[in-house]
Structure 1
């Protein structure tokens, strides 16, 4: 518990702030860049072979982050009012927090899937079968599971390029998880951690306020 100095009461909080202080613009920019990068890499992976599953090409994770970024820019443009005195501001903040939390969970899942697939692809032994590439973890085992990648003219695209894309997805999604966690924390801190009790100490002219 501390004593606020002159000019640091609720009136000071309601005072106009600089544009960069309304919302962390850097977070929104990072979300947009990372979301675009994740989506682009996912579609590049899908261009290697149409056999890749949805969980192996996580364009959906990048799209969700782009949506969160757009909402962040909307929050940046909304006129600041303390304590969510407008329904638009409250709904926008709530949606942004939900999207950041969802982006954090999805990013961790995508990084885990990408790590598993990267280790799997690194252990593949592949051979060309017409226009397809057939890969096995243990070619000496006749009942070992095989993975067929259709429309792949060179198996090096699977063992080399695809593994590199998985590695890039791991790095991008880990960065995305950190940015989403930061965005969700900032929204939570702004809403719940800092508030004024509204108790006045001393005369009105002195404007000493107690901060809880």
Structure 2
């Protein structure tokens, strides 16, 4: 009877192990943190960079805050750190110094990326509202724009290398709107990354019941 019971226990444990292994195989690895978040950050960073260089191709007179390629490049760096964190996290030794450093870098970079994305949204929103109100005239391979053409002392904005002012009043306005949407999405995923890491670090605690149960296990 004892041998039969022990064999049944071994069979039951093997069955549970097989079922758990099958469950692990069916889990979506792409959905695990931080792979999905880092992948979204990488795609958004590339999109922001491409749109920024398309904006810069309209006119070289555009300022750096109007073409936020720097925000997209930094987001790509954040995504690469997230990929490294994903690889480090699933190693057997999860309490290594390398993992701590990569987690800290990813948390800090995601926080900085959140701030940068919010700044880009503010800049893009301001320039979108400003460009939408422009009245432009073509002059010698340049587009001269003003907010109020009836005001003789109104500030003028000269965009060199522009042969058609519709590229400023229509295309550039569309690109500013795209930057607002893309950077809002970047800010969202950076906020998700920082929240998950903060929650995992500071909201994991042991209650008294759990401590007592651990002590009882140690006594046994």
TM-score by length of 2: 0.80
Of 69, 79, 86, 1:59 maps to 69
Please report the RMSD computed on the Cα atoms of aligned residues, expressed in angstroms.
Answer: 2.4
- The answer to which structure, 1 or 2, has the higher relative contact order (CA under 8 A, 6+ apart) is 1
1:86 Cα deviation after fit: 1.3
The structure with the greater share of residues assigned to strand is 1
Which 4+ residue blocks in structure 1 deviate beyond 6 angstroms?
Answer: 81-84
**Unpaired segments ≥5 residues, structure 1:** 1-16, 208-212
1:131 is matched with 141
2:155 is matched with 145
Give the conservation status (yes or no) of the 8 Å contact 2:34–2:85: no
Q: Does 1:204 align with 2:217?
A: yes
Give the conservation status (yes or no) of the 8 Å contact 1:23–1:75: no
**Unpaired segments ≥5 residues, structure 2:** 1-23
The structure with the greater share of residues assigned to helix is 2
Counterpart mapping for 1:40-189 below 5 A: 40-80=50-90, 85-189=95-199
TM-score by length of 1: 0.83
Of 28, 42, 45, 1:35 maps to 45
1:205 Cα deviation after fit: 8.3
CA distance in 1, matches of 2:91, 2:200: 12
Aligned residues: 191
